[in-house]
Amino acid sequence: MKGLRIFAACTALMIGSLAAVNASAGCCEPAPAPCCESAPVCCCPPPPVPVTFCVVDPVTCCKYPVTVCVPCECAGEIPCYVGCRKGFLGRKILTYKFQCCGECVDIVITKHGRVIVRD
């Protein structure tokens, strides 16, 4: 008889919990499906553009055409001469700055007149 009472109590508890689950499922709306956000748009910066200008050796006054790649907002701008310093093996390192984008470019002129653009 005692076993029957325990069985009846357990059955009542299970029925009550099932009723609570069913009642809560009926009164609540299902959770909305997560919104599919559109893929983020990649706003990649435009590629660098080549700019050609003339570099003047401050010692010999020789002129050299130089082409450098700079951000597109500097396209068409002539850079300003910032300064010159001595380099290794008699080289001259000239620094030019593009005012609109703040980009600085170092141009190396060797003692034999070869022009090297530093990145």
pLDDT of residue 110: 93
Average pLDDT rounded to a whole number, residues 51-70: 91
User: 17 pLDDT exceeds 80?
Assistant: no
Return the residue matching tokens 């984008």: 101
Closest CA to 109 of 43, 40, 60, 41: 60
Please spell the DSSP secondary structure of 49-64, one letter per residue. EEEEEEEE-TTT--EE
pLDDT of residue 19: 47
Question: Burial level of 79, CB count in 10 A (0-12/13-18/19+)?
Answer: buried
pTM: predicted TM-score of the whole model, two decimal places: 0.60
> Taking the mean position of all CA atoms in its chain, how far away is CA 82?
29
User: 12 pLDDT exceeds 80?
Assistant: no
Residues 19-56 have pLDDT tens digits of 444 444 444 555 555 555 555 666 787 888 999 999 99
